[in-house]
Amino acid sequence: MFKAAGSSPVQRFVAEGTIIVVLVIWWAGARHLPSFVLPGPLDVLKATLSFVTRPEIGYHAVVSFARVIMSVIVAMLLALGIAVAVRAAPILDGIVERRILTFLNSFPSVGWAILGVVWFDISTPTVLFIQTAIVLPFCLINALAGFRQIDADLDELGMSLTRRPLRRFFRLTLPLAAPFLIAGLRVAYGICWKIALVSELFGASSGLGYLLMRAQSTSDAPMVFACCIVIVVIFGVTDFLVLKPLARRISVNQGLSS
Amino acid sequence: MTFSSLTSDTKREGRGWLTLEAILPHLFTLLMLLLWWGYAQFVPDYQLPSPWTVARRITLFVTDPVDMMQLAASLMHVCVSITLAFAIGCVLAGLAHYVLALRLLIDGRLTPFLNAFSGIGWLFIALLWFGLNHVTVIFAVTLILVPFTVINVRTGLQELDRDLLELGQSLTRSAFRRVTKIVAPLLLPYLFAALRTSFGVSWKVVLTAELFGGNAGVGYLLNQARQEFDTETIFAIIFFIIIFVAAAEIVLFRPIQRSLNRRFARV
């Protein structure tokens, strides 16, 4: 996020020390509180590990992960399509910017979840529909911005180099817009995990959202905490290993990497 | 298309307010309403009520004092959460900037953690701790908003113009004056961005929080309507929220953003 490099020993001591202190306070506090209010760190760790040891629980995490990836990709492709259309016909700009974007941006996420269940049955496509609808505006904002900032001179250069529009699009337009698209992808991916999981509370009988709901209704507090931790871990790991390096590589090359 | 006559008309008129570009979005809205109305004729009401029914339900909603109380409750949730998240975010960002020892803890541990934590997760934890009430809703929404505020304010603090800060140092020795006269005004665009993002996100999530964890608010109404398969009310609430949020954006946030852009444009 911000430059963590060059942290002094004092900073390290404070950072790791605070985490240990918090864990100790948690452990001590949990001993005096019933498990359905605050489960101890060990119980939560056990429940978290069950995602690895028990396939029937790990399955829910895998299902959620696959759904998130798919909806983010679908939303990004849709956003790209709309942005390309606006670029081809600038007269559409007002419609997209002032109507479609405003509409999608103001739509409450739980509204999509309820409508998805009213319109379709409880199934994976419904979840995908809800999640895609929720993250679409975040993709669209970035896709539009990415295409808008493309240097007109470079565009002209492309025109003089090849007459094939597809080639121009993949060799010039797309790489130039790539930093914005990656930024949009990162935001959409985060929103999908953080907010769009609401789709699984209504529209599914599998996935982490469903698991959270089930754990809450049976007062299985360790499982509620474990689900939260699993989401943090999945999001953190994928963001750190895939999205962040991708964003860095593309922005360093100013989008001109082939 | 059928707009061809219009196109030639507007062309003749030149660049007045009645250009095709200005009119097209309205035509699009009309077309969408027409399509909605047309489609609603073929499907049952519980799947898609017609725009007319929804409009009537919205007027009922707006004139009903009980429903308006629920809207007030939602507004209260949003305002309290934004204020709390703003205060917490500013304190965290300030600490990370000015207290070196805490920087890694906040920038490297706390903010990424909060940023990765699921909003739905906070909601269910709050449900375990507080039950169905205002506290649950405010707690969940606040914690979702905090990372947005921290990141915005933190970026603002990092982008502060060093020369101006130095100038301030040579002008006064009172740190308080420097903060109020130089740092705060320079931060204004970032603080505003934090508020604007918070407002948008909070309306997206407050209904979810109220639906699962509240005993008041528009989300609570939405839940009742959902249980009774009252699609009319569901649509009315969703469209009312869309109009409300879009209006706030157009009437309040965009003009302020424009004036901020003018004032803070780098020459």
Question: A90-128: buried (b, 16+ CB within 10 Å) or exposed (e) per residue?
Answer: eebbbbbebbbbbebbbbbbbbbbbbbbbeeeeebebbb
> CA B22, B24, B30: angle at the middle one, nearest 5?
125
Structure tokens at A232: 């943090």
pLDDT band (50, 70, 90) for residue B265:
low
> Tell me, what's the pLDDT at A258?
38
- B186, containing H or E segment: helix B184-213
- In tens, the pLDDT along B167-207 reads 888 888 888 888 888 888 888 888 888 888 888 888 888 88
Better-predicted residue by pLDDT, A152 or B33: B33
Lowest mean pLDDT among A65-69, A153-157, A226-230, B261-265: B261-265
Residues in A touching B221 (Cβ below 8 Å): none
pLDDT confidence bin for B4, thresholds 50/70/90: very low
What pLDDT is attached to residue B139? Answer: 92
* Mean pLDDT of the B68-72 span: 88
Chain B residues touching residue A219 (CB < 8 angstroms): 128
Q: What angle do CA B222, A204, A44 make, to 5 degrees?
A: 95
Residue A78 predicted with pLDDT over 90: yes
Q: Which of residues 26-85 of B touch A (CB under 8 A)?
A: 28-29, 32, 46-48
Question: Which CA distances in Å does A107 have to A136, A242, B51?
Answer: 11, 30, 16
What is the per-residue pLDDT for A82?
A: 92
Q: Kindly report, residue by residue over B129-171, the tens digit of the pLDDT.
A: 888 888 888 999 999 899 888 888 888 888 777 788 888 888 8
Question: Distance from A196 to chain B by nearest Cα, in Å?
Answer: 9
Residue B22 contacts by C-beta under 8 Å, 6 or more apart in sequence?
A: A94
Q: What is the pLDDT of residues B211-234, one digit of tens each?
A: 887 788 888 888 888 888 888 888
A111, A119, A224 member nearest B47 (Cβ): A119
Return contacts of A209-215, CB within 8 angstroms, 24+ apart.
A209/A64, A209/B120, A210/A60, A211/A57, A211/A60, A212/B120, A212/B121, A212/B124, A213/B124, A215/B124
Chain B, 114-143: which have a CB under 8 Å from a chain A CB? Answer: 115-122, 124-125, 127-129
- Yes or no: is domain B49-264 CATH 1.10.3720.10? yes
The predicted structure's pLDDT at residue A199:
87
Per CB-CB distance under 8 Å, the chain B contacts of A194 are 117-120, 144
| Chain centre distance of CA A239 | 9
pLDDT, one tens digit per residue, over A97-135 is: 888 888 888 888 888 888 888 888 788 888 999 999 999
By the CB < 8 Å criterion, does B6 face chain A? no
The predicted structure's pLDDT at residue A80:
92
Mean pLDDT of A248-255: 63
Distance CA B83, CA B70 (A): 20
Q: With an 8 Å Cβ cutoff, is B205 touching chain A? A: yes
> CB-based contact (8 Å) between A216 and chain B?
yes
Predicted pLDDT at B85 = 92
Encoding tokens for residue A210?
């469903």
Question: At residue A248, does pLDDT exceed 60?
Answer: yes
Q: Residue A4: list chain B partners with CB under 8 A.
A: 104, 107-108
Work out the pLDDT band at B5, boundaries 50, 70, 90: very low
Domains in chain A: ranges and CATH: 55-257 (1.10.3720.10)
CA distances in angstroms from A165 to A158, A172, B136, listed in the order given: 9, 10, 54
Query: In this structure, are residues A143 and A180 in contact, taking their beta carbons and an 8 Å threshold?
Result: yes
Q: Is the pLDDT of residue A203 over 80?
A: no
pLDDT at B266: 55
Per-domain residue ranges for chain B? Answer: 49-264
Q: Enumerate the residues of chain A whose CB falls inside 8 A of the CB of residue B46.
A: 118
CA dist., res. B215 & res. B196, Å (int): 27
Check CB contact under 8 Å for B120 and A111: no
pLDDT score for B10: 42
pLDDT of residue A6 exceeding 80? no
Question: What CA–CA distance (Å, rounded) separates A66 from A188?
Answer: 15
ipTM above 0.95, yes or no: no
- Contact at 8 Å (CB) between A236 and A228? no
A133 vs B: CB within 8 A: no
Q: What is the mean pLDDT of residues A172-195?
A: 85
**With a CB-CB cutoff of 8 Å, which residues 141-170 of chain B face chain A?**
144, 151, 154, 158
Contact A201 B212 (CB under 8 A): yes
Helices within A6-54 (DSSP H only): 9-32, 41-53
Determine whether B27 is exposed, middle or buried from the number of CB atoms within 10 Å of its CB (0-12, 13-18, 19+).
middle
Give residue A1's pLDDT. 46
Task: Identify all chain A residues contacting B205, using CB atoms and an 8 Å cutoff.
Answer: 109, 195
